[in-house]
Structure 1
Amino acid sequence: MPDDVFIAISGEALHAKSKVYIGRAMARKAAEDLDEYQLWASLALELLGKAALAYRHPSLVVDPTNWKSLFVAAGVNVTTDVKTITAKTLFERLAHLVPRFDPLMHKFCMDISERRNAELHSADIPFRAMRLGAWEARYWHACDAILRAIESSLEDWLGADAEAPRQIVAEAAAASDAAVKLRVETAKAWFAGLKKAERETLAQEADGMMPIDQVASFAVAFDQIWIETCPGCGCRAFLAGDQTGEDIKQENDEYAMWEIVEREFVGDEFRCPTCKLVLLGGDELDSAGIDYIHTDEVEREMEYEPDYGND
């Protein structure tokens, strides 16, 4: 990583600016100006997300189609007009950096960013239509997840103002946890209430189901679907998620044509075909006691870069 990073894409500078903006947001909340509270909060969230990417490497926050910006990210300051990524790209990239940045959190961040754009670039007033309870808890939850990924915290980011957001996050988490546990217990009670023969038949049918057969059951197309045990009925169920990383597990000699790759996936959506239990996002999976990190090994043909034709 370059030692002297241009300030526009410096992780430290982006983090510091996000702290200024969240300070302005808290001041507007104290003044009961909830429109500006959400506006400054949305700006602070985007800066915090970019800081998280820039801490990993500045190239993650610059527009990859702009060669001058890529040079700056590499420490070669050929321009001061650095082009950075859009909010859409930012939140897509955070999903590969922040473990808890699941599709639900991604959608929330995109929604608040789109409301921000409408507020700034049109005559619309989208923030005024949003009740505080409809967005605030999810906002602090997203910020907390990003801050944890860069080994920081709400307390570090907000200072003396952190107590109330931390309490909001805790209360929202407790409510979600209780709701998930109730759904699991309801599924258990339903299955236990069946006759023994019915339970055995359903369990046998579930054992015959395979991940490939479940693709249409999930809301979106995920990278992988794998088998899990349902915390409700105890039958075979399925968890789907996207790939977040991979490593070459087996080194091959120069003549090898195949390699062993260990892949990592983060689960986002759980579905049980038997009791119909559905769990969405890492928080609900945690509450149900399901490990949403999945790894597997695959053997694949090695790929080589084509010759440049100058031999």
Structure 2
Amino acid sequence: MTAPYDHGALWVKAKLFINRAMDEDSSRTFDEKALWAALALELLAKSALSRVSPLLIAEPTEDGGNLLIASGLVEGDARFISVRAKTLFARCQRAFKPFNLKEASIITSARNEYLHGSAVGFLAVPSNVWWARYWAQASILVNALDRDIEEFVGDDREPTVMAHLDQNAKNVEHRTEMLIERAKQRLSQHLDGTLPARIAAEWKPGLDRSIGFTHRGIQSCPACGSNGTIEGDDITDTSAELVQVDEEDYEVIVNIIVAAEYFSCRNCQLVLDRYELIEQAGLPTTFETEGDSEDYREPEYGND
């Protein structure tokens, strides 16, 4: 019997669902296809995480049953329950850059509305736009599984997927250009005194637009050249050095490399809130900053 957390079985099921989503049967509407695709995305997330460790998709319970099943310590007829889609996608965002929790959550919300609500959530976005955004996320998970698009959808459907990916790349390019040009225009209008009163009431230079991630650094703004703030939570690398501060004392200096997730500029109010936008704008996708040496001290263990 195949384990419910087996990444290979989850991959096969995701393939089954995505093929239903891409079925050319004219009786299958876009919203139905989008539903199958949304289910396939969740299965891809489970497969990618479970391939690393089944523990990453196991729902914690008081008796630890799910974790024990995922670790292989409990076998038999015990029921395995995986974590919610939002948790899966949050973990994928941290593990498989540049997977985007916000984009994946939009897909999941539409799926939930379709299944449990009175509206048809998938129809809120034009189908060509929806598919472009969908494949931007799904392709990351396929790659995380060391697979390719052809293996996932078949060689006859691969060109369709690649066309959606190309469209998404253009969308990211256009949105980045739009955000930068709008920030330039608003700053210019402010300096010239021609900013409309309604906009001026909301747009003020010096307003802190940072989001509050754990780590931050300084980076030149692509719109106005001023010092902006680049932020992120996930540390990708760490190094430490021992520095002598006087004849008898040394201090540990910790340097960390952080994945860039958000950029903001106080001067022109530019905000780039996605990895893809940061990358498209030519900003570094990681930044170096100083960590807290206390976080890297060995804990003291007592025997009492």
Band the TM-score falls in, shorter-chain normalisation: 0.7 to 0.9
Q: Deviations over 1:107-148 (max 9, x none)?
A: 221122122223333454333555314522111111112222
Size of the alignment, in residue pairs?
Answer: 280
Q: Which residue of 2 aligns with 1:221?
A: 212
**1:77 aligned residue (71, 74, 78):** 74
Corresponding letter in the other structure for 2:150: E
Matched, 1:131 2:129: no
Candidates 289, 292, 301, aligned match of 1:296: 289
- Paired amino acid for 2:226: C
Q: Indicate if the aligned counterparts of 1:249 and 1:260 stay in contact, CA closer than 8 A.
A: yes
Q: Please give the secondary structure, in 2, of the residue aligned with 1:48.
A: helix
* One-letter amino acid matched to 1:228: Q
Partner of residue 159, structure 2: 163
Where in structure 2 are the equivalents of 1:38-53 lying within 5 Å?
A: 38-53=34-49
Once residues 103 and 189 of structure 2 are traced to their aligned partners in structure 1, the CA distance between those partners, rounded to angstroms, is 38
Return the alpha-carbon distance in structure 2 between the equivalents of residues 24 and 239 of structure 1: 41
Bigger Cα displacement from structure 2, 122-131 vs 273-282: 122-131
Matched letter for residue 242 of structure 1: D
Aligned residue identity for 2:160? A
- Secondary structure of the 2:263 match is strand
Q: Give the C-alpha shift of residue 16 in structure 1.
A: 1.3
Unpaired segments of 5 or more residues in structure 2? Answer: 192-205, 243-249
Q: What amino acid is the match of 1:94?
A: C
Deviations 1:151-200 (A, max 9, x none): 222222111212112111102212321442465467678989999xxxxx
Task: Give the SS at the match of 1:232.
Answer: coil
Task: Tell me the alpha carbon deviations over residues 49-68 of structure 1, each in whole angstroms, 9 at most, x when there is no partner.
Answer: 11111111111010123512
Whole-angstrom CA distance in 1 between matches of 2:80 and 2:290: 40
Structure 1's 292 and 62: CA in aligned 2 closer, same or farther, altered over 3 A?
A: same
The 5-angstrom pairing of residues 116-127 of structure 1 reads 116-127=111-122
Aligned to 2:222: 231
Paired-residue identity, %: 28
Amino acid of the structure 1 residue aligned with 2:36: W
Larger fraction in helix: 1
Q: TM-score, normalised by structure 2?
A: 0.78
Shift of 1:250: 5.9
1:259-302 C-alpha deviation (Å, 9 max, x unpaired): 66543322222122223332221211121111121233424232
Partner of 1:13: 9
Under a length normalisation based on structure 1, what TM-score does the superposition of the two structures give? 0.77
User: 1:41, 1:49 → 2: CA distance?
Assistant: 12
Could you tell me which of 11, 24, 28 is aligned with 2:20?
A: 24
RMSD: 3.3
Find 1:142's aligned residue among 123, 137, 144.
Answer: 137
Q: Is the 8 A contact 1:239 1:271 kept in 2?
A: yes
Taking a change above 3 Å as real, the CA distance of residues 241 and 59 of structure 1, as seen in their structure-2 partners, is same
CA distance in 2, matches of 1:174, 1:134: 11
Q: Distance in 2 between matches of 1:18 and 1:84?
A: 16
- SS across alignment from 1:95: helix
Residues 170-185 of structure 1 correspond to what in structure 2 (within 5 A)? 170-181=166-177, 183-184=179-180
Aligned AA for 1:295?
Answer: E
Relative distance call for 1:28 and 1:108 in structure 2 (3 A) is farther
Cα pair 1:6 1:77 within 8 Å, conserved? no
Q: Which residue of 1 aligns with 2:275?
A: 282
1:305, 1:140 → 2: CA distance? 48
Say whether the 8 Å CA contact 2:255–2:289 is kept in structure 1: yes
Compare 89-98 and 263-272 and name the one that shifted more: 263-272
> 2:274 & 2:283 partners in 1: Cα distance?
11
Note the 1:259-270 alignment, pairs <5 A. 261-270=254-263
Matched, 1:86 2:88: no
CA contact (8 A) 2:128 2:164 kept: no
Match of 2:233 in 1: 242
What is the CA distance between 1:232 and its match in structure 2? 2.7
